Structure 1
Amino acid sequence: MLEFNVFYKLVAAIGIGLIIGLQREHTYFDATDRHPAGVRTFTLVGLGGAMVAMLCGLMESAAPFVAGFIVIGLLLVASHIAFGLSHHVESSVGSEGGAAPAAGITTSVALVIVYLLGALCWYGKLLESCVIMVVMLWILTVKQQLHDFAKKLSREDVLATVKFAVISALVLPFLPNQAYGPAGLQVLNPHTIWLFVVFISGIGFVGYVLIKIVGPGKGIWLTGVLGGIASSTALTLNLAGRSRENEAYASDFTLGIVLSWSVMYVRLYLICIALSGSLAGPLALPLLVPVVPSLAYALFLKLRTSRKRQEHSAGFSNPFKLLPAIKFGVVFTAVMFVANAARVYLGAGALLACSFLGGAAEMDAVAFSVIDMHSKSGLPVRELVLAFLFASLANTLTKGGLVFFLGAKSMRKPIVPAVVLICVTTAALIAVYF
């Protein structure tokens, strides 16, 4: 009896090899490049990977897979050697000599990966194999863009990337993931604090990559949108600090920061209704109304920036600045400690004061706390809304202060209207609910 599951896995392996092979075949139009395998070879190698995996199961041994791996390696080596010899002969008999073009090492590596993907298909990892295939297609297709991006990087950029990898990959795993502090105030978690430091530094790297790809203007604005999705407070700190060394782009930094504030409100609203769908109506006014003046002012900044846009000859400096991120991590921890102390020692009756203090550090912590109190302790909707409003008011003032005191002087004047507009709108909503 035919087993459909067997043929399904084999077809998946064949399909992956075929798709990757078609992409590689397309690059044959580049006469200076050498490819040791085409669409047929890739398809057969994908099928072969699945077949040797099947044989491994039948024989209860990894020998077929290893043998297949060795055979493919030897064939690729033979292909490269044959190409080198043929080019040498052609150069010897031809009227013009020259250096041999580079052999297709990328294609050889892709062929080996297709062999591995064929084996993964046999073991039922079809989704994982398809995801890897898509990533491979992207890497193989954007060859020129990746090379152009690599050329834009300086030695300082590479060193900064290494430093970032060290603080995130080597330091973070060894920090204790345990909260310390007095009873009821155990909020000092070294792992969490350092993770926040890494997160702030990471926002700078994401923004720097965008700036390198699409230019300082659009790159900074996109960073603002992405930062608002992640953490508008961290984004504000990062861009404010960056503006001191790149003051020519201060207007772009201001726009990116205001955009992150707008996105923060929308993100928080979506998170809240995901946690409790019944709050979609009550939280619409306090979380979505402040978005209107914020986006309106962002549009004003965008139009004004476009009119004044000039090409700056100065390069954009490297993003790796660990010390400011550490300082903000310390401040963030201190504010969270004070906010939790107010909650513990002042009690639930001081909800608005606690929300104001907590919002000065991070809106998400306040949101999760009050929603939990609403669902478990029956916190009235009116008090929940006021808690959100007080937290957002403090959050806006904090972020405005970060820009005013840490950013370039040219950012102080344009950031004030954004702070005033959002705070006035929030204060009006507080008056309505009181």
Structure 2
Amino acid sequence: MEHILIDNSLWLNLAVSLGIGLLVGAERERSKGIDPDRSLAGIRTFTIASLLGAVSTIINFWMLVVAVISVTAFAAISYAMRVNKHPGLTTEITLIFTVILGGLALSAPSLAASLAVTASILLAAKEPIHGFVRGAVTKEELNDFLILAAATLIVLPLVPNEFIGPFNAINPRNLWLVVILVMFISALGHLALRLLGGRIGLPIVGLVSGFISSIATIGAMGERAKETPALIGSAVSGALLSSLSTVLQLTLLLAAIHRPTLQALSVPLIFGGVSIAVYGLVVTLSSFHHHGTEVNKPTRSFSVKTALILATVIAVVLIASAALKAWFGQAGLVVASAVAGLADVHASTISVASLAAAGNLSAANAVIPILVAFSVNALSKVVAALVSGGKAFALQVIPGLVIQVMATWLGWWLF
């Protein structure tokens, strides 16, 4: 064996290895019980296992391999002898993991300590985690989480990050980010509904649902107000706060796609968001004396179909906007944004921001098309309010939308 130089850093790393064993071992000691059939390892075993990994690493890498194999063999034998009484593998796997962490503490003590703390938290939180997964989370919600995780961790790294297609208008990575953002924001809204339910009434539901579609939310709130006139105040609040969600979602999308465009639009977005928030808050407070009905909770966190359709619409708008920009200049881009804004302001915003990110448009020139799309989209909301909720509902919603649009343009004019 080569001569081992012992210095202060080595002693510190050994101390980290000792702490890892004590930390994980203390949790296992409390969990194994005191009966004769208790699990195989406690605080002493885990502490020695961690130090075994550290000392083996000091000698050489292959000694660590031998240590891990030996501990694995002992854990397997112990599990085989107790499988009828202790069918779980948590303690055995944790013991092997502790040996590896002890070895890792010699080269990356901070990482090893962080992993040990994480493992201890997971071990200690056994009952809350099991209760949450088995009782609080539905099968559909778990499937949605797996879909979102796969879309983010597996698909996203494989998507090309370059501009392709006609007029070099489409960036596949940006489009997939849109899909992920739509699903993620919808999942957040679903979580808020699960936690809050209908206790706060329609305003919270409107704010959350606005992240999915403000126009659809206003339509739903109008129908509820028409069916139950006593809830018109809460329904108006939900409709108005959904427009606040539109501003917040635009901010998130611009931050993900092109920050300079977000900076150019920061003041108009702040003016528009604050104005509708204040107006919606006033209406909400005035409606608190009414008793809201319980809102049904959705079973799915998000709709993959909706996210993919939005991405497809955005791709079409991107190509159309780039074509109009190439053929007619800035005026063509404004017209394209206005037309697209009738159905969805997010598609227009993303298309214009993507053009700016590709270098085909400056951030300053991207402001007007986005504001035009935002204003035209407000007209669609007005129509939705009139059709779904009737005159009484629309007369309370329309002033808030007008104030928001005027405040947004005021922010652009001032700054």
Pairwise TM-score range, normalised by the shorter structure: 0.5 to 0.7
Query: CA 1:432–1:189 in structure 2 vs 1: closer, same or farther (change >3 Å)?
Result: closer
Q: Which residue of 2 aligns with 1:260?
A: 245
Query: CA 1:306–1:265 in structure 2 vs 1: closer, same or farther (change >3 Å)?
Result: farther
Q: Shift of residue 423 of structure 1?
A: 0.5
Q: Residue 275 of structure 2 contacts residue 403 of structure 2 at CA under 8 Å; is this kept in 1?
A: yes
- Residue 3 (structure 1) aligned with residue 2 (structure 2): no
Aligned equivalents of 1:142 and 1:153: distance in 2?
16
Deviation per CA, 1:233-289, whole angstroms, max 9, x where unpaired? 9x3339948997xx989969757744534545776898999869xx98x87643422
TM-score between both structures, scaled by the size of structure 2: 0.68
Q: Shift of residue 299 of structure 1?
A: 3.0
Aligned-partner SS, 2:60: helix
Q: Which residue of 1 aligns with 2:374?
A: 395
Query: CA 1:287–1:155 in structure 2 vs 1: closer, same or farther (change >3 Å)?
Result: closer
**Out of 119, 125, 129, which is 1:142 matched to?**
125
Q: Which residue of 1 aligns with 2:168?
A: 186
Q: Residue 141 of structure 2 contacts residue 299 of structure 2 at CA under 8 Å; is this kept in 1?
A: no
Q: Which residue of 2 aligns with 1:236?
A: 212
Aligned equivalents of 2:45 and 2:335: distance in 1?
69
Letter in 2 for 1:145: P
Q: Shift of residue 425 of structure 1?
A: 0.8
Aligned equivalents of 1:167 and 1:238: distance in 2?
25
Aligned equivalents of 2:250 and 2:140: distance in 1?
36
Deviation per CA, 1:324-355, whole angstroms, max 9, x where unpaired? 22221121112222332333333368786688
Q: Shift of residue 128 of structure 1?
A: 3.5
Aligned equivalents of 1:294 and 1:140: distance in 2?
46
Higher relative contact order (CA 8 A, sep 6+): 2
Q: Which residue of 2 aligns with 1:424?
A: 406
Deviation per CA, 1:75-130, whole angstroms, max 9, x where unpaired? 43455566679xxxxxxxxxxxxxx5x56633333333222222333233x44434
Deviation per CA, 1:353-388, whole angstroms, max 9, x where unpaired? 688689843546656876998xx99x8xxx93x853
Deviation per CA, 1:164-184, whole angstroms, max 9, x where unpaired? 6676677667766654333xx
Q: Shift of residue 187 of structure 1?
A: 1.9
Q: Shift of residue 405 of structure 1?
A: 6.0
Query: CA 1:207–1:131 in structure 2 vs 1: closer, same or farther (change >3 Å)?
Result: farther
Aligned equivalents of 1:157 and 1:132: distance in 2?
28
Aligned equivalents of 1:138 and 1:415: distance in 2?
48
Query: CA 1:146–1:214 in structure 2 vs 1: closer, same or farther (change >3 Å)?
Result: farther
Q: Shift of residue 19 of structure 1?
A: 2.7
- Residue 329 (structure 1) aligned with residue 314 (structure 2): no
Q: How does 1:46-195 map to 2 (within 5 A)?
A: 46-57=50-61, 62=62, 64-80=63-79, 102=86, 105-124=89-108, 126-150=109-133, 151-160=135-144, 179-182=163-166, 185-190=167-172, 192-195=174-177
Query: CA 1:349–1:167 in structure 2 vs 1: closer, same or farther (change >3 Å)?
Result: closer
Q: Which residue of 2 aligns with 1:94?
A: none
Aligned equivalents of 1:108 and 1:243: distance in 2?
56
Aligned equivalents of 2:197 and 2:34: distance in 1?
29
Number of residue pairs the alignment of both structures matches: 389
Aligned equivalents of 1:171 and 1:271: distance in 2?
17
Query: CA 1:104–1:254 in structure 2 vs 1: closer, same or farther (change >3 Å)?
Result: farther
Letter in 2 for 1:340: A
Aligned-partner SS, 1:316: coil
Q: How does 1:343-382 map to 2 (within 5 A)?
A: 343-347=325-329, 360=345, 361=347, 363=349, 366=352
Q: Residue 218 of structure 2 contacts residue 242 of structure 2 at CA under 8 Å; is this kept in 1?
A: no
Q: Which residue of 1 aligns with 2:275?
A: 293
Aligned equivalents of 1:417 and 1:188: distance in 2?
37
Aligned equivalents of 2:25 and 2:206: distance in 1?
39
Aligned-partner SS, 1:2: coil
Query: CA 1:399–1:336 in structure 2 vs 1: closer, same or farther (change >3 Å)?
Result: farther
Aligned equivalents of 1:269 and 1:325: distance in 2?
17
Q: Residue 170 of structure 2 contacts residue 318 of structure 2 at CA under 8 Å; is this kept in 1?
A: no
TM-score between both structures, scaled by the size of structure 1: 0.65
Aligned-residue CA RMSD in angstroms?
5.3
